[in-house]
Amino acid sequence: MATDATAKFQKNPDFRRDFHPPENLPAAVTTAAAAHDGLHFWQFMIAGSIAGCVEHMAMFPVDTVKTHMQALGSCPIKSVSVRQALRSILQSEGPSALYRGIAAMGLGAGPAHAVYFSVYETCKKRFSSGNPNNPIAHAASGVVATVASDAVFTPMDMVKQRLQLSNSAYKGVWDCVKRVMSEEGFGAFYASYRTTVLMNAPYTAVHFATYEAAKRGLMEVSPESVDDERLVVHATAGAAAGALASAVTTPLDVVKTQLQCQGVCGCDRFTNGSIQDVIKTIVKKDGYRGLMRGWIPRMLFHAPAAAICWSTYEAGKSFFQDFNQPKDVDTVT
């Protein structure tokens, strides 16, 4: 019995990571599980950074369509239809417009996701209190992680969104950074930080809790085939988490886009930059439906993006777990 458990433990990275032995197991088994229960902080950062870059680069065109739809007054977008928005972008500027601002995304996504996942894993370990299936710990860890990562990502996200707009006056990332700094000041880079945190806090709380629960449920359905299907498990759980979390936080994402793009390409400029002021302007101009503008491309972005991100991240963790594993593992008898 112990030999079978050890074989499964050594073969399956997911089983090793999620395995928390009962108190009555032999000390040798408990020690082996503890040795593989986590990675070094820098390994979480590398795995998260790679996952974030792969996710955002792959889904960038969808993000561009969403930004156009949410930025009220930015010509030539006049409709909330995904098809019309995409057609308008392609007809007015060509396919290359779908990738404008991708350099800013690359500069921001890597460091931000390194912070995001490393903080999440650290907090999850601290908050779980010995219970790896605690959804409150997962949600709380996600909130802490997003506050930290948004501080890194928000400036480049603002640059990215301004470059994405039709007829953008900026020549590139560095030109946008210099002009915003000289014309609007450093505070402009963080104009949407409060809104971003307020949006991403519930997003990550729902996202991480849903992901961990879905992953656990899928692994319990067919535990004997988890090793062969772990990529599908992570991708499916990630897609479900991304779709649900993105749908419920779309209104705040619209507000965030408005704050980041204010005064550019015909977008409204707000006097005090408060969330209430932006919401009133959106409702007055486009009704309450304006708060859900871009929800379809947002879900189309976050569902596959989360699937890509989690599967890439978990693959990175599995790689480092194998890398950290001692070459000679004593067999438990």
Predicted local distance difference test score (pLDDT) of residue 15 = 44
pLDDT by residue (tens digit) across 308-330?
A: 998 999 889 889 988 888 765 45
Predicted local distance difference test score (pLDDT) of residue 225 = 57
Cα 113 from chain centroid? 8
- Between CA 26 and CA 183 the distance in angstroms is 66
pLDDT by residue (tens digit) across 23-69?
A: 443 343 333 333 334 688 889 999 999 999 998 888 888 888 887 77
Q: What angle do CA 96, 100, 104 make, to 5 degrees?
A: 150
For the segment 242-258, the average pLDDT, to the nearest whole number, is 85
Comparing 76-85, 141-150, 208-217, which segment has the lowest mean pLDDT? 76-85
Q: Is the dihedral of CA 269, 275, 280, 282 positive or negative?
A: positive
Predicted local distance difference test score (pLDDT) of residue 224 = 63
Indicate whether 162 pLDDT > 90.
no
pLDDT band at 226 (very low <50, low <70, confident <90, very high): low
pLDDT band at 222 (very low <50, low <70, confident <90, very high): low
Contacts of 260 (CB under 8 A, 6+ apart): 157, 158, 161, 162, 191, 192
Domain coordinates of the chain in residue numbers? Answer: 39-318
- Between CA 137 and CA 203 the distance in angstroms is 15
Could you give the C-alpha distances from 135 to 16, 92, 124, 167, 250, in angstroms and in order?
Answer: 20, 47, 10, 45, 23
For the segment 226-240, the average pLDDT, to the nearest whole number, is 79
Domain 39-318, CATH homologous superfamily name and number: Mitochondrial carrier domain (1.50.40.10)
pLDDT band at 164 (very low <50, low <70, confident <90, very high): confident
pLDDT by residue (tens digit) across 266-307?
A: 566 666 667 788 888 888 887 888 888 878 888 888 899 899
pLDDT band at 228 (very low <50, low <70, confident <90, very high): low
For the segment 179-193, the average pLDDT, to the nearest whole number, is 90
86: left (phi over 0), alpha (psi -120 to 50) or beta: alpha
Predicted local distance difference test score (pLDDT) of residue 265 = 58
Contacts of 33 (CB under 8 A, 6+ apart): 9, 16, 19, 20, 21
Contacts of 176 (CB under 8 A, 6+ apart): 104, 159, 162, 163, 170
* Packing angle of the helix pair 60-70, 82-93 (nearest 10 deg): 100
Comparing 20-24, 176-180, 214-218, which segment has the lowest mean pLDDT? 20-24
